[in-house]
Amino acid sequence: MRNKKKRLVLRSIILLLLSAAIIFVLYSNFSKDNRKVAAVGEEAPNFVLKDLEGNEYKLSDYRGKGVFLNFWGTWCEPCKDEMPYMENQYQKYKDEGVEIIAINVGETKIAIENFAKQYNLTFPIVIDESGEVQKAYGIFPLPATYLINSDGIIVDYIETTMTEEMVQQYMEKIKPE
């Protein structure tokens, strides 16, 4: 009789824990907005951010060009892998109407400058100090890239590490005709 009581108590505790876990999972999935704020097929949210020298970059100023909008961090290993590929392809596509805007997610200027020098980056690097642009685009995790056509419409979203071939294909995809 005593073993039956222990088993009943143990089963009740397990059932209670499983129920709590299920409720938590359901609550966390339904209480957050899983939709990206910036969605494929929609106009890219405009922003104004400054580069390391204080120059302002406004996305809407790039109408008529394809924009490879990359969110990155100096600590992000996949970002370190992609940057040389992006620089190589930028050199090929910048005269064909494709621009890169690399948005750093709010790190120090010194860390960003050292990173840019280490990888010999020549494309614009701007800083999202407040995190507002990252939030507007629903960015997490890094790296993340939005492809924006010459009309300002998002045509693709990539949240995986890119090879140089992939970067080239994506730049070709947003190259103005």
| pLDDT band, very low/low/confident/very high, at 4 (cuts 50, 70, 90) | confident
What is the phi-psi region of residue 64: left when phi exceeds 0, alpha when psi lies from -120 to 50, beta otherwise? left
pLDDT of residue 26: 63
Give me the mean pLDDT over the 29-49 stretch: 75
Give the three-state DSSP class for 57: strand
So what's the pLDDT on residue 11? 82
What's the mean pLDDT when you consider all of the chain?
89
The Cα–Cα gap between 149 and 175 comes to 7
- Tens-digit pLDDT profile for residues 115-126: 999 999 999 999
Mean pLDDT of 67-77: 95
Lowest mean pLDDT, pick from 30-44, 66-80, 94-108, 163-177: 30-44
Compare 11 and 83 and report the one with higher pLDDT: 83
Q: How confident is the model at residue 66 (pLDDT cuts 50, 70, 90)?
A: very high
Q: Residue 34: is its pLDDT beyond 70?
A: no
Under the banding of pLDDT at 50, 70 and 90, the label for residue 31 is very low
Tell whether the model's pLDDT for residue 36 goes beyond 60. Answer: no
For residue 84, the model assigns a pLDDT of 97
Q: Does residue 64 contact residue 176 with C-beta atoms inside 8 Å?
A: yes
